[in-house]
Amino acid sequence: MASLEEKILSLRQTLNDYNYQYHVLDQPTVPDAEYDRLMQELRTLEEQHPELVTSDSPTQRIGGAPLEGFKKVEHHVPMLSLANAFDKQDLLDFDRRVRDGLGVDQVDYVCELKIDGLAVSLRYQDGLFVQGATRGDGTTGEDITQNLRTIRSIPLKITDQSTIEVRGEAFMPQRSFLALNEARETRQEEPFANPRNAAAGSLRQLDPQIAAERHLDIFIYAVGEWQTGSLTTHSERLNYLRELGFKINPEWRQCTSIDQVIDFVESWVDRRADLSYDIDGIVIKVDRLDYQNQLKTTAKSPRWAIAYKFPAEEAVTKLKDVILSVGRTGAVTPTALLEPVKVAGTTVQRASLHNEDFIKEKDIRINDTVVIKKAGDIIPEVVRVIPEQRQGDEVLYRMPDHCPACGAELVRLEEEVALRCINPSCHAQLMEGLIHFVSRQAMNIDGLGEKVVAQLYEHKLVQDVADLYQLDRSELLKLERMGEKSVDNLLEAIDASKQNSLERLLFGLGIRFVGAKAAKTLAIAFDDMDKLKQATLDDLMAVNEIGHKMADSVVRYFQDEKVLKLMNRLKELGINMRYLGAKPEAASEASAFYNKTVVLTGKLEQLTRQEAKERIEALGGKVTGSVSKKTDILIAGAEAGSKLTKAEQLEITIWSEQQLVEALNQ
């Protein structure tokens, strides 16, 4: 048996080496036929001796039955998005903010190509790839491990035995994209618009066999949870990750000044077309890790990094007509209907015209030849007209005096450019308000997409958000495409949303100027809905980050009799009206966590890891992802691994989960 085990191990190592040379280094050393022969030999031996099969075997990349759905994954270290730069001045401003924040005259940067794909995280424990996830909302993603295992440039095993979580961009190379669309067209299926959409769709397939057939690739560019503390710069990390077998984009550069950064950026504006994969910009990061820690992050993005976005691709087409839409706040927005034209990989038939003033300023007319672009390569907008191509049949466009949805007179409020419908019964506003209420950042009700909301509204099953909590099962079953299972799941999701914390409800109500962050700030400050309803303008403006415009909007909102009746209905229907999260103001020097650095490891049973993190931070603690000499407390849950061992070696205070809960409750 020993010689058989050695034979299997030898085959695995040889195949892994060939795979690395082909998919990571892009330097194949053997013909495909030889690789296939060795793979078949290994597969046969493992079938004959299943007790010798291990998860890191190259035969195990594709396997398992299709999933019924994706499980949620909490990121131990949030996957933040990056702030954007669009020109040279933005980069100079970024450099100035970095140097001012550090109090230094010069900073080294690392520039990397910004791959146009899907951000993912890969977790390794004891050297084995154990979990892969999407970015999601940055805090919670979806478990797509089975699909990521099919990407042959992702190593299933690495030599570093500590817990490591790396971040990368999964993408579809252009040759894979062309082959996929050719196959789809042969089957008379709709082709994908661009490689990014194709990659995202592939990684969200419930059957990993489909993901495998689409030949995705990945570049690793960062780390999340990390225990290798001897490295001091981002560039050292990139080199170390490459040594571990991860595929690192070779086109990165270390720069000693912002001028070198700008030169690097400008060199890629035209050269990006020569690559075999899509990029949409350059990412610039402060190289020194201690500088990154000193600069910290905002709620959304790190202060030590920025993404330069390439100038948007432009195209010329004909503006055929203008249509209007009414948003949930009553703003009436004009949209251009265009002759279809391809821009940045997708076919565009509509583009934003913003407002009446924009149309007049640009002198945009129906039947004009116009230049359009995608702002940030995402949202199509009309840039300008080409007046010299006018044929005489162009028509001036005038915004209407009445709402296109309900017929009420439109008004322009003071200091605003938008025309608004102020009819509270306008059905277009009600529809948009419902869609907003159930959205992910608001009440987050699974199964209530735009089409379902439209069905409910059209069949007069809902007229306001409170009606959602009084839906009748038998009525729902009469709707198109609403079977028993989907109806039960929907009702369960609606019922579960009753337990959401107050900030979700506040954001979902669509109070003007109150975004998700402000909703949480208000929820923390006033604790429950009754106190917020009674708050005066001065009470609201006393809250940090709440200005006069927002405060005035909140006061006016709760002075409306219809709003007060709605609040009473929601309360009677059992919707939670209190803030359930941790309160930062609770931190005091008496707290067991005040100014302490805490690490969480293992499985927690009484709290989720995110809940534990928020409560510790609310009491003045700092939660980090790795154990070092600076760690004050390690919280060890079930199945704690290498972090516990390292904490014991460093003689760090170790608590059980029960001790954590007791300290939090004191």
Both tokens of 377, joined, read 């390569």
Q: Is 309 a catalytic residue?
A: no
CATH topology of domain 502-572: DNA polymerase; domain 1 (1.10.150)
pLDDT digits (tens, 9 = 90+) for 210-221: 888 888 999 999
Whether residue 1 has pLDDT greater than 60: no
Least confident of 275-284, 363-372, 517-526, 586-595: 586-595
Q: Domain boundaries in the chain?
A: 2-60, 84-309, 314-411, 427-499, 502-572, 584-665
The pLDDT of residue 91? 95
Whether residue 296 has pLDDT greater than 60: yes
Q: Which of 376, 309, 312, 308 is nearest to 109 (CA)?
A: 308
Q: What's the rounded Cα separation, in Å, for the pair 51 and 44?
A: 13
Q: Is domain 584-665 given the CATH code 3.40.50.10190 in the classification?
A: yes
pLDDT digits (tens, 9 = 90+) for 380-413: 889 899 999 999 999 999 999 999 999 988 888 7
Max CA pair span of the chain: 87
Domains 427-499 and 502-572 share a fold: yes
Least confident of 265-279, 317-331, 600-614: 600-614
Q: Which of 379, 372, 245, 248 is nearest to 320 (CA)?
A: 372
Q: For residue 333, list its beta bridge partners.
A: 325
Burial tier of 522 (Cβ tally within 10 Å: 0-12, 13-18, 19+) = buried
**Options 1.10.287.610, 1.10.390.10, 1.10.10.10, 3.30.1490.100; which CATH number does 2-60 get?**
1.10.287.610
Q: Which residue has the higher pLDDT, 172 or 43?
A: 172
Both tokens of 568, joined, read 């009473």
Q: Model confidence at 297, in pLDDT bands (50, 70, 90)?
A: confident
Average pLDDT over residues 597-606: 84
CATH topology of domain 427-499: DNA polymerase; domain 1 (1.10.150)
Q: For residue 332, list its beta bridge partners.
A: 326, 419
CATH topology of domain 314-411: OB fold (Dihydrolipoamide Acetyltransferase, E2P) (2.40.50)
Q: Which of 489, 299, 342, 320 is nearest to 394 (CA)?
A: 320
Q: What's the rounded Cα separation, in Å, for the pair 262 and 260?
A: 5
Both tokens of 283, joined, read 């990412």
Both tokens of 167, joined, read 């971040």
Q: Which CATH architecture has domain 84-309?
A: 2-Layer Sandwich (3.30)
Marked catalytic residue, from 72, 88, 114, 583: 114
Q: Which of 512, 550, 563, 558 is nearest to 533 (CA)?
A: 558
Count how many Cα atoms sit within 13 Å of the Cα of residue 435 in the half-sphere of its side chain.
15
